[in-house]
Amino acid sequence: MRKFKEFIIEKLILICGIASIFFVILIFLFLLKEGLSVFKTITPLKFIFGKNWYPISEPAQLGILPLILGSLLVTLGAAIISIPIGVACAVYIAEIAPLKIKEILKAGIELLAAIPSVVLGFIGIVTLVPWVKNIFNIPTGLTALSGSIMLAFMATPTIVSIAEDALYSVPKSYKEGAFALGATHWQTIWRVILPAASSGILAAVMLGIGRVIGETMAVMMITGNAAVIPHSFLAPLRTLTATIAAEMGEAVVASEHYFALFAIGIVLFVISFVVNVTADLFLHKGQ
Amino acid sequence: MFNPQRTQKIAFFFLFLATLLIVIPVGLIVVIIIQKGLPAINWQFISDIPRQGMRSGGIFPAILGTIYLVLGAIIFALPIGLLAAIYLSEYAKDNFWTRIIKLSIVNLAGVPSVIYGLFGLALFVVFLKFGASILSGSLTLGIMILPIIITASREALESVPYSFREVSLSLGASKWQTIRHIVLPNAIPGILTGTILGLGRAAGETAPILFTVAAFYLPRLPKSIFDQAMALPYHLYVISTQVPNVDEKIRYGTALVLLTLVLFMNLIAIIIRYRFRKKKKW
């Protein structure tokens, strides 16, 4: 009897063990099931490279190029800001900060990671957006720049914590060797520790960027929601994620618009899949 | 030639500056929200329903909705996540399939939250016909926090020393008895920490509940799990972007309640972790 009970429990454990695979496949299948229907009316090339996104006009124009460029532009801006700051902060925490300050800084970073994105979006609306408007003297502060700054801020916890782990796991003997040869602490960091941790830092950067591409609420609230091809950092735009979040509420189930939003979901899923798998490869290469 | 000592000083100064650039805004955000939100908080704000198109009254239905959603998510995710962690830490061999499982967990953790919203809409709301309901929202959030629970529980289980298991097995206990009576009890604080962090994440997310449960304005309490509900993060989104002329105070007050809820859970998780680390017997 006990053997039978244990047999059941162990099978249950095995089933739950593979549940993650099941859910990933399920998510992908349901995105495909709903999203692929849009290609009955529009070719994939026209969908991705179409310059006009007017989903509710007659006939609907479903080109997501403005959305892709919108996502790319804010991601680029966020990467330019967050990568140097994030990696520098990770080096400071891992190598320079005294133990007590280190604990405080890590708690601060964890705090940032815990703040819900809708709260950051709200804070962005009441602080960052008016600042950008006044500093650049433009009609609206809801711009790509505001979005980039906020997203950079949101990506730093990911970059800092993973990069810090990578720096921390560099063997102590490397550092001692460099010191023994008369290198200063900074020379050791720059020439020995950073190169040794490079694959982990690369993974940190990739995961940070993955976080930026997938971020929805804050970016929807502060980039102005204009589905046009963006020409500068000081113009409003709209990302892939924000389009889904803003329009799905109004799309009629099983309409062309509904299918098109799921097709955008497929694009996002594939991007995040590639980013995560590549980052994971880098992390394992480091070990 | 550069003086290496001076170069070091300059470099360290910039590293310090970068750190301040992250930490100071975090502090400022928390301070601003507390300072401007606190005057809005009173018993009526916490316990009343929204009135006059959300421009006055309280946010009780949103608070209750979020609590229901979070509890639903954890009821679904904790058993599956815990058993999955037991599988990975106690049973899985280091082979191709285990590698695929780990990769799937990494992917689940990295999928954008709005994709969970789409998935929840397609599977629970439309395909299984649960409609926009607490049930659909809870299941969607549950799948979203699964990787957090699995990863934390696995770490907790793996940190139990191997010798504990050997002793138990050598006394004639079966593998499951060893897990149930030796490994699990010693891993509980770590599992609890992961669970609470998952709860905090579920409480703060907006995108997954947008199309699966959230009601724009529903000035009554949900009656069953098949009912729609308001939720705090979505309510904050609505009153800060969709409804004009909402009093600043109400916006900040809502942000403060949400932030407090999320940070409180994180604080509990940190305290449990800290106390456990101190009491550790090995």
The predicted pLDDT at position B232 comes to 92
ipTM for this model: 0.90
**Which among B5, B146, B207 has the least Cβ separation from residue A216?**
B207
Q: Do A122 and B18 touch (CB under 8 A)?
A: no
The predicted pLDDT at position A198 comes to 93
DSSP H helices in B40-112 = 43-47, 60-86, 96-110
Does the pLDDT value for residue A287 go beyond 60?
no
Does the pLDDT value for residue B282 go beyond 70?
no
CB A250 within 8 A of CB A182: no
pTM of the model: 0.91
- CATH of the domain spanning B59-278: 1.10.3720.10
Does the pLDDT value for residue A286 go beyond 60?
no
**Which among A20, A108, A184 has the least Cβ separation from residue B4?**
A184
Shortest CA distance from B15: residue in chain A: A88
The predicted pLDDT at position B281 comes to 63
pLDDT in tens, B15-43: 999 999 999 999 999 999 999 999 988 88
pLDDT in tens, A32-90: 999 998 898 888 889 889 888 988 887 888 889 999 999 999 999 999 999 999 999 99
pLDDT in tens, B102-115: 999 999 999 999 99
Domain boundaries, chain B: 59-278
The predicted pLDDT at position B223 comes to 82
Does the pLDDT value for residue A229 go beyond 60?
yes
The alpha carbons of chain A give a radius of gyration, in whole angstroms, of: 23
**Residue A217 in contact with partner chain B when CB distance is under 8 A:** yes
Between A151 and B52, the more confident residue is A151
Ranking A215-229, B112-126, B137-151, B216-230 by mean pLDDT, the lowest is B216-230
The residue-averaged pLDDT of A105-126 equals 92
Q: d(Cα B250, Cα B259) in Å, to the nearest integer?
A: 14
Does the pLDDT value for residue B93 go beyond 70?
yes
**Residue A1 in contact with partner chain B when CB distance is under 8 A:** no
For chain B, report the end-to-end CA distance as a whole number of angstroms. Answer: 52
Q: Do A31 and B110 touch (CB under 8 A)?
A: no
Quickly count: other Cβ atoms within 10 Å of residue B167's Cβ. Answer: 13
Considering only CB atoms, which chain A residues are within 8 Å of B33?
A: 119, 123
The predicted pLDDT at position B52 comes to 76
Does the pLDDT value for residue B279 go beyond 80?
no
